[in-house]
Amino acid sequence: MIHIISRSLAKRWAVCGVIKESDIETYQYGLELIISSGINLLIMIGISFAFGQPLVVVPYLIGFIPQRIFAGGYHAKSHLFCILFNTFVYSISCLVALNIEESAAILSSVIESCLSFALVFLFAPAPAKNKPLNIEEKKRNRTITLIISGLSLVLCIALYYSYLLGSTFCNMIFCGQLMATVLLLIGKSVESIGFLHH
């Protein structure tokens, strides 16, 4: 559905002279990303409202987006699967972050930060098949991902003895980072399996 809408919009823009006909596929791809991301965001906001915490999506995205952009990882083969997977993962994140006891939240944040840093160090970046990276881009993305993950670990250690590390805000940041790390691992696993089959 998203593919069809994006294609028809891009074609209409070409007919109206807004874009060149040779750019239809590029604009279609961009529109697909915008529409899919918009749907994901609206669903996440809806889930946040359902949990009675409409703003928890913000810290989740603070933890998720930077690491996801630069570490890379698994990308679903269809927009529908991406939306369903994201909905499931975000729902679980809200369920855990909003109901975990403070001492468990602090401990899990420390474990998650250490684990994320180690996995990013070992595996990042994991570029998508449709967006391969050259050597310079890989170096840059790896460096940025290590800085992001390292800062998160330092923040976690700095906040360890404060009540803030057990707060919902921090819980959601670390849930977002954890999900980005999980996608990195899945992406590397899929890449390894694909490599073994060639």
Phi, psi of 126 (to 5 degrees): -125, 85
Contact 48, 94 (CB under 8 A): yes
User: What does pTM read for this prediction?
Assistant: 0.81
Compute CA distances 49 → 46, 63, 100, 103, 164, whole Å: 5, 19, 18, 26, 23
Q: What is the pLDDT along the chain (198 residues), one digit of tens a residue?
A: 788 888 888 888 888 888 888 888 888 888 888 888 899 999 999 999 999 998 999 999 998 999 888 888 888 788 888 889 999 999 998 998 888 888 888 888 888 888 989 998 998 888 777 677 888 988 998 999 899 988 888 888 887 777 676 677 888 888 898 899 998 898 888 777 764 444
Residue 182, C-beta contacts closer than 8 angstroms, at least 6 positions apart: 73, 89
64 and 176 Cβ atoms separated by less than 8 Å? yes
* Residue 156 token pair: 């976690």
3-state helix/strand/coil string of the chain: CHHHHHHHHHHHHHHCCCCCHHHHHHHHHHHHHHHHHHHHHHHHHHHHHHCCCCCCHHHHHHHHHHHHHHHECCCCCCHHHHHHHHHHHHHHHHHHHHHCCHHHHHHHHHHHHHHHHHHHHHHCCECCCCCCCCHHHHHHHHHHHHHHHHHHHHHHHHCCCCHHHHCHHHHHHHHHHHHHHHHHHHHHHHHHHHHHCC
* CA 155/CA 149 separation, integer angstroms: 10
Encoded amino acid at 117, one letter: F
